[in-house]
Structure 1
């Protein structure tokens, strides 16, 4: 019972922490995106083709064996890591962020910005083919969950309070991502 209570409490903290933030005109787009050259078309095409060749399907036992306990909690049980205490919130290096479960490249440092939420935030994925957006009604609140389009793992949530040009904020868990520097 204590374990269930702790899981519910952790979920509620994650829900409120990564909830919609009031839109701000002072969002900093000078973090990882500053000075990034646009990805070349050939690179995008290669990423799309390589990542989505086949869907990754594993049993829960196989996922448990392949992932760390924290990765399993976030990626497979739709958990949330702690804000400000993660690998990529402050990462300013240029590169690609891929799904930690299957390697699907989903986000580029080109679209990363400092949202002030404590989680890595992006205003767009590399391609709409790389992510899947699903309605999430957990805990009675309607949100849009971001999943990996290749393996269905939970990556984070997307909110309509991000910067231009999309107005979106993909609020993601670092533990759900692997970063490959350019």
Structure 2
């Protein structure tokens, strides 16, 4: 697959390890760049959205595709609500429900989850057995954000623990946004 967009990888809480599909994509596509956060384990929403904005504005925003996983999905929604930048699109994978009782403590400013329509095309990828978000909540996020929803079945949190290391199906979804 060829990508002409500037692809920014945005991991969630704890960052994405070496075996995670986001890291795999970076190895296979050296032009894909990770947005680094100051604190991966005790994130502050305002800090995270400013890091995203710096990365987006380091070039032509209209050519940017964001690839968010987990907490990064709501972070992207906050970023969009705050900055309203005209980017090409976003792939939002396994959005965590930061309002759920089961969500790990230690995050600041990520609730309530913004439910405003995103000002760019987006795809939300969810599964039926994600510990961090119910399919019903992921569907609400997708509908609110104006995103296409893709339910990939019993895929857990769509990470290494659920067997998603290279995840070529995700690249095909990203390619949809590239077009």
TM-score band w.r.t. shorter chain: under 0.3
Per the normalisation by structure 1, the TM-score is 0.26
Higher share of residues assigned strand: 1
Q: Which has the larger radius of gyration?
A: 1
Higher share of residues assigned helix: 2
